């Protein structure tokens, strides 16, 4: 296969329980010149483990079979695709399967493409080109985020950021250095930094690495985001919308140890 390789290849994860199909798809992706396979697993459970923050596996796209023999739920693939759209909005999903009846549902879930087995070289390249167009722009290593402080420009490292907040027509970035104006909308920020941020409210994106406390009251749920536990040091309280409480809690527990995720 001959292709003009892009400057930055797509980092891909394959979730496929049939090893011949898994290996063949990995070969097609790698030989395209547009992608590199950074993981290939046989079940949703293995994919979830691979994507834990501790594994440091950063991906642009997941090629996902719908029916996986190792998963007790024959719709595990669709459920995983749905969870990715909530917990990792920067990751683009491609459903790769022998079944064509789930095509409409795939696009309702936000899948970028739908590959039918047996996979073909030209079709895979077409899919990768589509993914490259849809790929969010991420800061390059060493690239910083620029914000405003009165008449000055402030340059921030991505890992310094606690959260982004939309208020009326303005957007703010919260850090240990203070709150500053940014010129981008939350939607644009989510596309650029989606893999490192979690949408917890229509007006808030948070950096999960700086979440220190999940506080549940009778009327609302709050996150304390900052350098310490609430009341002990610098940080901010961020509201979690009711329809996102369960997914946010699950996402936080999935990247931590010490407590069961259910209950």
**What is the C-alpha separation between 10 and 262, in angstroms, rounded?**
34
**What is the C-alpha separation between 5 and 35, in angstroms, rounded?**
9
The CA-based angle 110-113-115, given to 5 degrees, is: 135
Q: Pairing relation of β-strands 61-64 and 92-97?
A: parallel
Residue pLDDT, tens place only, 77-132: 777 887 776 667 678 889 888 766 666 666 666 678 888 888 899 999 999 998 88
| Mean pLDDT for the stretch of residues 5-23 | 82
Neighbours of 162 (CB within 10 A): 24
| Mean pLDDT for the stretch of residues 9-33 | 91
pLDDT of residue 72 exceeding 60, the answer is no
**What is the C-alpha separation between 156 and 143, in angstroms, rounded?**
9
Residue pLDDT, tens place only, 236-245: 999 999 888 8
Average pLDDT, the chain: 81
pLDDT of 74 reads 55
For the chain, domains (ranges, CATH) are: 10-134 (3.40.50.2300), 145-254 (2.40.50.1020)
Query: Looking at 43-47, 149-153, 188-192, 209-213, which range is the least confident one?
Result: 188-192
pLDDT of residue 202 exceeding 90, the answer is no
């Amino acid at each position: 296969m001959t292709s003009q390789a892009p400057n930055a290849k797509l980092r891909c994860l394959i979730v496929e329980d049939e090893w011949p199909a898994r290996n063949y798809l990995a070969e097609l992706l790698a030989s395209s010149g547009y992608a590199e396979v950074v993981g290939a697993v046989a079940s949703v459970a293995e994919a979830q483990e691979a994507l834990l923050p501790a594994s440091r596996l950063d991906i642009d796209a997941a090629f996902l079979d719908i029916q996986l023999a190792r998963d007790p739920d024959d719709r595990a693939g669709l459920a995983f695709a749905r969870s990715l759209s909530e917990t990792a909005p920067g990751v683009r999903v491609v459903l790769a399967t022998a079944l064509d009846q789930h095509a409409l549902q795939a696009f309702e879930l936000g899948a970028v493409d739908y590959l039918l087995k047996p996979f073909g070289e030209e079709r895979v390249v077409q899919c990768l080109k589509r993914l490259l167009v849809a790929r969010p722009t991420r800061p390059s290593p060493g690239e910083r985020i620029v914000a405003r402080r009165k008449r000055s420009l402030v340059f921030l490292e991505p890992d310094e950021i606690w959260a982004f907040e939309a208020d009326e027509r303005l957007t703010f970035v919260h850090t240990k250095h203070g709150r500053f104006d940014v010129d981008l909308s939350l939607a644009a920020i989510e596309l650029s930094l989606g893999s490192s941020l979690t949408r917890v409210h229509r007006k808030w994106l948070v950096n999960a690495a700086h979440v220190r406390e999940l506080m549940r009251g009778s009327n609302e749920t709050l996150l304390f985001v900052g350098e310490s536990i609430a009341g002990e040091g610098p940080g901010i309280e961020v509201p979690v919308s009711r329809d996102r409480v369960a997914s946010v809690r699950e996402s936080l527990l999935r990247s931590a140890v010490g407590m069961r995720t259910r209950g």
